[in-house]
Amino acid sequence: MNAPLDIDALKTRQQAAWASGDYAVIGTTLQLVGEQLAEACDIGWDQRVLDVAAGNGNATLAAARRGAQVTSTDYVAALLDRGAERLAAERLVATMRVADAEALPFGDGTFDAVVSTFGVMFAPDHAKAAAELLRVCRRGGRIGLANWTPDGFIGRLFKIMGHHLPPPAGALPPSNWGDEAKLRELLGPGASAIAIERRHFNFRYRSAAHFVEVFRRWYGPVHKAFAALPEDGRAALERDLVVLLEEMNTGGPHALMVPGAYLEIVATRA
């Protein structure tokens, strides 16, 4: 019989992964997703917006550009520092606060909109994180999410990494948040309506080898995976990633463009 999953230990491991490398190098390329989500959530002037697991602040910047009063949270302080640098460069303002998505330090119904782009989906306790999103959002407010799908590129990438470096027994895959049925189970009890759109973000690199080089150096989970494997394991992981990239490449023989499927969700708080 397997021992129960140690959520705290898993969370500590995840924090170390996201703090390694420099996620901002990758995250900045995803800014378009934050802009589209802000539009889908109809974020406007003076609205109170919370960005959960904000990373380097894509949704934070998008909301701030629309005049919202934004609070940007993450459990990795260095990522918030990157977001603060971006805000300062554009003369925008937001409150930066270290916070755990599963225990948000805000009162019930504090925010008009609660958003997360590829962030809250990585919280280990999915039910607790979903409950927190709902709790801090006011009735009639919006919860806006962008989540990678299980069958899309990033979902498949994480499956490959899990094959080479298995997660703890009992750990839920983050891509559950990109499964429409599971998502409705998580948010449905507290939402009066849930609108879901399937979208794609195009990853653009010189080649499959270039993608692996960039992600291996800067993207925390991939960086940590390569660091944890022996030399032959690293070579095998690289081969499997290149096969996936070349299979999904739509950019032709001289470039890499891989569509990454994700769900854009706007739930209305009941």
191-210 per-position pLDDT tens digit: 999 999 999 999 999 999 99
Contacts of 181 (CB under 8 A, 6+ apart): none
SS3 assignment, position 179: coil
Residue 2 lies in a domain: no
Residue 209 lies in a domain: no
Q: What is the pLDDT of residue 4?
A: 80
Query: Which stretches in the chain have pLDDT values below 70?
Result: 1-3
Contacts of 123 (CB under 8 A, 6+ apart): 53, 101, 102, 129
pTM for the structure as a whole: 0.96
Residue 247 lies in a domain: no
- What total of structural domains would you count in the chain? 1
Contacts of 228 (CB under 8 A, 6+ apart): 165
Residue 114 β-bridge partners: 50, 143
Residue 46 lies in a domain: yes
The CA distance from 215 to 58, in Å, is 18
Residue 254 lies in a domain: no
Residue 28 lies in a domain: yes
CATH number of the CATH domain containing 187: 3.40.50.150
The CA distance from 191 to 72, in Å, is 23
Residue 249 lies in a domain: no
SS3 assignment, position 54: coil
Residue 215 lies in a domain: no
The number of residues making up the chain comes to: 270
Residue ranges making up the domain that contains 52: 7-151+167-202+262-269
Q: What is the pLDDT of residue 2?
A: 58
